[in-house]
Structure 1
Amino acid sequence: MRPRGLPLLALTFGVLAAQQAYASSDDSCYPSWNLKRDTLDVCNSLPFLSPGNDSRVNLQLLLADAGRASLPVKALSDDEQQLGYGLVPFPLMRLFDEPLAPEAATAADAKPAAPLAELAVRIGLPADAVPAEGERFASGEGSRCRSNNPATAQDFLAQLLAADLPPAERQSLARARLALLQGCQWDEAQLAGLFPGDVDSPGGREFAGYLQGIAAFYSGHFPAARKNFQALRDSRLPWLRETARYMLGRSQLNQAQQNAFDDMGYPDLRKVDQAALKVAESDFKAYLQAYPQGRYATSAKGLMRRVYWLMNDPGRLAAEYAWLFAQPEAAQGNADQAQLIAEVDNKLLVSAHPAEVKNPRLLAVLDLMQMRHHEAGEGRALDLPGLQAQKPLFAELPGLHDYLLAAWQLYVEEQPGKAAEQLPKALPQKLDYLAFSQQTLRGFALEAGNDWLGAEKLWLQLLPLAHQPLQREQLELALAFNYERSDRLVKVYAENSPVRTPAIRELLLRHIAGPELLRQQVKSETAPAEERDTALFTLLYKDLLHGRYANFVNDLALLPAEPSTKPLSASLGFVYGGGQPLSLFQWPGGKGSSSYDCPALRDLALALQQEPQPPQALNCFGEFILRNNLDSFPLDNQPGVRELGGSPSLFEGEPYSRLDGYLKVIADAQAGSDDKAYALYRAINCYAPSGYNGCGKQDIAPAQRKRWFRTLKTQYADTPWSKSLKYYW
């Protein structure tokens, strides 16, 4: 049973908010479907020990194996679905999205023995003597003012009830403690009005001295606070004696750090009062020696961690974390886990050198950080001999050290064969996260040697063993990547395929699938409706935009008579809404705002089959793209070569650029004047207003654009498009 006092949530100190770091310039996260990465990417975390993971993720995986943490199982949020995420990879904030507590909050969340108002009434005060919620001090610098709260006031009132005090003194003392809830800093005149003057009993005077001590503490008068608590360290009342000894350390710690933080809360450890800090360390050690299971013991341990951080002593700080991870408290509650792990990251991992840490789990996290990509000439804090020399520190976890050696060979040395030599060949009986990481690297090594069938066999063998959160989802991604890169994409969509993640299946349809596979999925009776619609949209779009006009006309038969008007969004690669519906392919044509008349889309596709292609058809193909905002459409862009969907598409041809059509019309001596004028008008506007081509990838010199403009203004001056165009870009 946890000693009465502070829950772990209230004990983690100095936890900065989990950093919302992002992978893109617009401060948003987007999925990157790649399992093998050696650069930090907080937007794409993976459930195996990876250099590309944030250190918090790797630490959580190792603590989960030790039974001290767990990965929360959460459904995809609406935002994640709109961005196209599956469960793996996942943004860091999916694990660390709990609001983080301020530093070392003492008893802020402690459960009271009885409601505060009830205690006040039992003492003889009216219930309204308790300040209303809105009147209570609820902020402050965290490690000091936050503990001036109803929970600590209840502790004090409960002790007043238990002590042998005259009723009038008990009421005066209770009234004074309740008054302290309404602020966190008082001048001498205010304090004189708060403290009772009619307390004469020995016990009453000690309680009054305690109130003076906490008032000085909350006001930032730490020497005065220490003097009051020092006078109570041998109190005859056990609660006062223990609390005063604990508060000696807190007062001294706050004095040591009072000049070390700027207005934004950023530390400058050079400004720490090291002499005062050593006294605080001595005070906390004395408290823990006297009260190893005391009501504030866990808090004192947490504040000792703060002392070691302020001392810039990563060795002792790491040892404190190692002790904490071995305690049952560390296995409670995801909110507690997230804050403790964030504390470790902020206070230790971001600055510690591997040589300063002896705990194998913390050391493993630091080692993985050193395996991240380094530019040529950029030094590492670790080399292979140094990693090998760490072996004695991993005596209790030899498999973890072997894994680190394998990871070094794979990520740093780029020697997958040597990496495989460090990994177990047999399947594990239990697939914890370390074993899962080992097998993941085995699969990577097999694929690096082009043994795609061997890797597939391994991934499939691991599936029935994958019971930990997110393991199956990673295996699905691994299999999908394997099938794509080994030219066996059809296996993703086979009956009873283990690849079930919608985002993965839809991504491969839109980027890799050829016409036959797309038609197969359109007609599938078992595929989800969204997948069938995505396949049909991709088929019709690429038929048309890749120049397969006859196929487009034929494949229109797959379109329902009344297709959905609901836009397909994430399944087509859009983020945060947007998208296009299947009804796009029933485009009716017409004049639109430009007054250039176009046929319906089916008739347009028939016209585009002619040779040569009619100028009106080419212009109207551009109108179809323009009026429906299809320039730079997501289906036109392949992912990076290392990502899922990054191999060459099986749908032959290149996406159509409407500027190509305009150029053909401009160069066509047989084109009518309206058609040519309109092509010039649209070609010039491709560069409006930025001067960059918004209609394709062509780079047309400004001088040529100027000639287009002059031609339009002179040879086609009577057309509405010449009259409306004032500039060229």
Structure 2
Amino acid sequence: MVLLLSGLGIQAAQASGDFGCSLSWSLKRDQLDGCNSLPFLSPANDSRVNLRLLLADQGLEPLPDQPVSQFDEQMGYGLVPFSIDRLSGPQDGSPTGDSADGTTDGTTVVETPAAPSAADAAAAALADLAKQIGVTPEAAGTATADTAANLFASGEGSRCASNDDATARTFLEQLVASTELPDAERKALARSRLALLGACTWDPAQQAAIAPQGVQSPLGKQFADYLQGAMAFYAGDFPAATRAFTGLAGSGRAWLKETAGYMAARTLLNQAQANSFDDMGYPKLENVDQPTLDAAEKAFDQYLQAYPSGLYAGSAQGLLRRVAWLRGDRTKLAAEYASLLARPNTPPQSLPLDALVQEADNKLLTQVAPADVTDPHLLAVLDLMQMRHRDPGADGTAFALADLQAQKPRFISDPALYAYLVSAFHFYVEADPDKTLQGLPDALPTSAPDYLEFSRQTLRGFALEAKGDWVGAQDLWLKLMPLVQQQPLQRAQLDLALAMNYERSGRLAAVFAPDSPIQTPQIRQILLRNLAGPALLRQQAKAAGAPETEQDTALFTLLYKDLLRGHYRDFGSDLALLPDPLPEKPSVPWDQSLSLFHWDGKTAESDYTCPSIRDIAATLQRNAGSPEGLNCLGEFILRNGLDSYALDHQPDAQDLGGTATEFPGKVYSRLDGYMQVIGDSKAGRNDRAYALYRAINCFAPSQSNGCGPQDIPTAQRKQWFQTLKSRYPNTSWAKTLKYYW
């Protein structure tokens, strides 16, 4: 059986940018960036983020107000930008409605495996019930802690997802409640249901072994027929499953009658879509069996008419949405999601908001056109998605202002949202800050802004900066700060906005002024590492009251750049700023410690002896071309893994810290040093031989330069190799080197 949701899951991942993330400290992106979410309505946000912001404004569910997780902190995140996982909070296997395709035995299917504690509890409850009946689950050949349902990847939603401990428990509870069943039949039926947990497909011999034996009572036969239907359903034999379930329509046992009616509809749905997904799980909706889909819809409608608040009413309604999706009825689907999003967690569906947003994203937002949607909030999310795309769409046209203007009647209930979208279009698509400002308020809000108002003020600040009014934007960011204490993440965004304002307007020192409101540690450290000049780094390295991590970052950056940018005299004097004792653990990013600058230069693996890094710098201060000094500086870089170190690279231009650094000097490459020694006719024999050896090894074994940005032709490397072998044959380096790569 093809997985029911895997294709949709793949689409959602593509929409969300989940194929590997990199952190980007930026606010004005206009292309999708699912890894770096922002708390304002942005085209770059994942559609789920923008939808959650709008739903929070409706009072449905606030964004989680929690500190940065340990994992996100290790990844370099602060509060803003944030990973989309932040919106979900702890993952607990929440029900997902039609993301899976329903239930079998009376419990809600979960899209993701339950949390360990919940899974263990379900397994324990099932085991206790089995013992009550007189059956040992292990003896029946099952592994209740690892049932067939849990063998499927998160989000795939196979029909087998409902073959789990919880649904098996419901069946056993019905057996216990059926006191008229003979005890032997109850045990046989329980063993059979437990045996189903081991897999979702069986050959004829296995089916015969699993089927309950010796069941003769009328009620027992009905339970046995239900199990035969369930086995056929899970195995993909839909005609046999339909016969078994429809045969129970007249059962006098209420649970059997209701469950079989629901399962008959579910079976028809699975049969209708059986050929509608390729081997990778991508949907091919043109292959849907439409007559069978019509029959499934009718069967679900009949179930809901008979059981409007039934055991499976929520799942049945969710599966009717799946019917609409399979049929391509996007208008109906959009209306249904709009209704659901207005009342999440409302019986009979009772879908958590996270699950509902994910489902709407999978089934609607990644596939529907704005023309199919009338709800202003869903339409706004779609419009922001359209603003990302500069290339013509499938119909050969790009999203135009006229398209947005034609939607105005659909925003009659939320004119402020419509006005924001028009301004966003002027800013992101037309790059016209003057028109952007025309649709935005000139005044500050008089109370704490919701996310829409915060988005309007954010866009206003962006437009001011685009016009070159850095002081006006700065004034806006500062005045907003005391107003945004209620909504999570807004204050953190203003820290980033103000920091980038100071950076872009050449006022970096203002970030570190005593009265600076910018206290986000990651922001301050990014600016110190990438932009700060020597004076500012010295200031922060010994700034009273500054966090120790910030002081260490400033000092490490200062000493590293002193050394790697040729400020050897300053390096010698700045060493006096090192604390005593030195921190034992890494105190700056990338697992480095200030103890790096106490490197003693002992004889290395290559038998080239160097003094301490302090003495190396002193040598280079006296003679910047010293062969020993250049080789030993290269040795320092090599032995400490500093080739292409993060401090040697600026962030992208649009990111925080992406402007020109205030620290003068060219970044040192050890290959430059080796080449200088190689070309120095006065260099000592060992110095020159070692430089040749190391220069050649810069390209080992990949033929790519691991010591710097230079592209050295193979012929040049060959010449170095031949020189080493012919002029310095007795050195250990000539004897051991076999290739020139």
Q: TM-score range by the shorter chain?
A: 0.7 to 0.9
Give the structure 2 partner of residue 464 of structure 1. Answer: 482
Q: What are the Cα deviations for residues 577-598 of structure 1, in whole angstroms up to 9, with x where unaligned?
A: xx32211212222432333333
* Cα displacement string for residues 204-256 of structure 1 (whole angstroms, at most 9, x for unaligned residues): 88777666655654554444544555566576665555445433422321221
Matches within 5 A, 1:106-145: 106=103, 107-109=106-108, 125-126=133-134, 134=143, 138-139=148-149, 144-145=159-160
Deviation larger for 150-159 or 62-71 = 150-159
CA distance in 2, matches of 1:267, 1:24: 20
Q: Which amino acid aligns with 2:102?
A: A
Instruction: Work out the CA distance in 2 between the residues paired with 1:692 and 1:13.
Output: 39
Is contact 1:232–1:240 with CA below 8 Å preserved after alignment?
A: yes
Contact residue 265 and residue 297 of structure 2 kept, 8 A = yes
For the structure 1 residues 722 and 257, does the alpha-carbon distance in structure 2 shift closer, same or farther, using more than 3 Å as the test?
Answer: closer
* Cα distance change on mapping 1:263 and 1:656 into 2, 3 Å: closer
Q: How does 1:160-309 map to 2 (within 5 A)?
A: 167-168=180-181, 172=185, 176=189, 179-183=192-196, 193-194=212-213, 196-199=215-218, 214=230, 217-218=233-234, 220-227=236-243, 229-230=245-246, 233=249, 239=255, 242-262=258-278, 264-309=280-325
Say which of 54, 58, 71 aligns to 1:62. 54
Tell me the residue number matched to 1:364.
Answer: 380
Q: Please give the residue correspondences for 1:421-436 in structure 2 after superposition, counting only pairs within 5 Å.
A: 421-428=438-445, 429-436=447-454
Cα distance in 1, alignment partners of residues 327 and 675 from structure 2: 70
Say whether 1:614 aligns with 2:594: no
**CA separation of 1:128 and 1:417: change in aligned 2, threshold 3 A:** same
Q: Deviations over 1:21-66 (max 9, x none)?
A: 69999x6422111111122222212222221122222222222222
In the TM superposition, 1:86-97 aligns within 5 A as 86-95=78-87
Q: Does structure 2 conserve the Cα–Cα contact (< 8 Å) formed by 1:330 and 1:337?
A: no
Letter in 2 for 1:543: D
Residue 657 of structure 2 corresponds to 645
**Taking structure 1 as reference, are residues 671 and 225 closer, same or farther at Cα in structure 2, changes over 3 Å only?**
closer
1:510 Cα shift? 0.5
Which deviations, in whole Å up to 9, do the C-alpha atoms of 1:635-678 show, x marking residues without a partner?
11111111100111111111122233333333434333333333
Choose which of 3, 6, 9 in structure 2 pairs with 1:16: 9
Q: Does 1:482 align with 2:504?
A: no
Q: Structure 2 vs 1, CA of residues 519 and 246 (structure 1 numbering), >3 Å: closer, same or farther?
A: same
The answer on whether the counterparts of 1:22 and 1:43 sit within 8 Å (CA) in structure 2 is no
Rounded to whole Å, the distance in 2 between the matches of 1:236 and 1:653 is 88
Contact 1:14 1:103 in 2 (8 A): no
In structure 1, the residue corresponding to 2:605 is in which secondary structure?
helix
Does residue 693 (structure 1) correspond to residue 710 (structure 2)? The answer is no
Per the alignment, residue 317 of structure 1 pairs with 333
Aligned equivalent of 2:112: none
Residue 7 (structure 1) aligns with: none
Secondary structure of 1:167's aligned partner: coil
Comparing 641-650 with 545-554, greater Cα deviation is found at 545-554
Q: Which amino acid aligns with 1:546?
A: R
Correspondence 1:551 to 2:555? no
Picking from 28, 34, 46, the partner of 1:36 is 28
| Of 463, 470, 474, the match for 1:452 | 470
Q: Return the letter of the residue paired with 1:16.
A: G
Q: Using the TM superposition, name which of 329-338 and 619-628 deviates more.
A: 329-338
Structure 1: how far apart are the matches of 2:496 and 2:675? 43
C-alpha change, 1:195 and 1:450, in structure 2 (3 Å) is farther
Q: Which residue of 2 aligns with 1:391?
A: 408
Aligned mates of 1:541, 1:445 — CA distance in 2: 38
CA distance in 2, matches of 1:715, 1:206: 94
Q: Answer with 49-58 or 659-668: which moved more.
A: 659-668
In the alignment, the residues of structure 2 paired with residue 318 and residue 269 of structure 1 have an alpha-carbon distance, to the nearest angstrom, of 18
The alignment's TM-score, normalised by the length of structure 1, stands at 0.85
Is the 2:433–2:466 Cα contact (8 Å) retained in structure 1? yes
2:429 maps to 412
Farther-moved stretch of structure 1 (539-548 vs 662-671): 662-671
Q: Which amino acid letter does the alignment assign opposite residue 368 of structure 1?
A: L
Equivalenced residues, count: 703
Q: Which residue of 1 aligns with 2:535?
A: 516
Which amino acid letter does the alignment assign opposite residue 310 of structure 2?
G
Q: CA deviation at 1:455?
A: 1.4
CA contact (8 A) 2:192 2:211 kept: no
Aligned-partner residue type, residue 680 of structure 1 = L
State TM-score, norm by structure 2. 0.84
Map of 1:3 onto structure 2 = none
Partners of 2:137 and 2:144 within 8 A in 1: no
Equivalent residues of 2:532, 2:661 under 8 A apart: yes
User: In the alignment, is the contact (CA less than 8 A) between 1:677 and 1:721 conserved in 2?
Assistant: yes
RMSD over aligned CA atoms reads 3.8
CA deviation digits over 1:284-315, x for unaligned, max 9?
22333444333332222101011011112211
CA contact (8 A) 1:12 1:340 kept: no
Q: How much identity, in percent, do the aligned residues show?
A: 53
Letter in structure 2 aligned against 1:461: K
Unaligned residue ranges in structure 2 (runs of 5+):
110-120
Give the CA deviation at 1:259.
2.9
Change (3 A) 1:12 1:268: closer
- After superposition, the Cα gap between the structure-2 partners of 1:670 and 1:394, relative to the gap in structure 1 and judged at 3 Å, is same
Per-residue displacement from partner, 1:521-563 (whole Å, max 9, x unpaired)?
1112211111111110111111121111111111111112432
- Answer whether contact 1:49 1:58 (CA < 8 A) is retained: yes
Deviation at 1:616, TM superposition (A): 2.4
Deviations 1:140-189 (A, max 9, x none): 88564444555556656666787xx8734698468536633421667685
Aligned runs of 1:546-695 on 2, under 5 Å?
546-570=565-589, 574=590, 579-611=591-623, 613-695=625-707
Among 64, 68, 72, which residue is 1:76 paired with? 68
Counterpart-to-counterpart distance in 1, 2:354 and 2:732: 64
- Contact 1:135 1:182 survives alignment (8 Å): no
Greater CA deviation, 601-610 or 209-218? 209-218
Distance 2:228 2:566 in 1: 85
For the residues of structure 1 that align with 2:267 and 2:63, how far apart are their CA atoms?
37
Cα distance in 1 for partners of 2:631, 2:79 equals 44
Using the alignment, how far apart are the partners of 1:119 and 1:568 within structure 2? 54
Distance 1:129 1:628, change over 3 A: closer
User: Are 2:7 and 2:280, in contact at CA under 8 Å, matched by a contact in 1?
Assistant: no
Unaligned runs of 5+ in 1: 1-10
Deviations 1:321-345 (A, max 9, x none): 1121122416999993333222222
Counterpart of 2:524, as a letter, is R
CA distance in 1, matches of 2:508, 2:82: 24
Q: 1:5 — aligned with what?
A: none
**Helix, strand or coil at the partner of 1:609:** helix
CA–CA distance in structure 2, aligned partners of residues 229 and 695 of structure 1: 70
User: What does residue 113 of structure 2 align with?
Assistant: none
3-state SS in 2 of match to 1:182:
helix
- Distance in 1 of aligned mates of 2:716 and 2:176: 92
* Cα distance in structure 2, aligned partners of 1:13 and 1:39: 25
Partner of 1:4: none
- 1:515 touches 1:651 (CA, 8 Å); kept in 2? yes
Report the alpha carbon displacement of residue 709 of structure 1 after superposing the two structures with TM: 3.6
Change (3 A) 1:53 1:332: farther
Distance 2:687 2:165 in 1: 79
Distance of 2:282 and 2:329 partners within structure 1: 18
Q: Aligned residue for 2:115?
A: none
Q: Which amino acid in 2 is paired with 1:393? A: R
- In the alignment, is residue 104 of structure 1 matched against residue 68 of structure 2? no
Letter in 1 for 2:143: G
Q: Which amino acid aligns with 1:103?
A: A
Gap change, CA 1:517 and 1:229, over 3 Å in 2 = same
- Secondary structure, in 3 states, of the residue corresponding to 1:594? coil
Report if the CA contact (8 A) 1:12-1:343 is conserved.
no
Aligned residue number for residue 42 of structure 2: 50
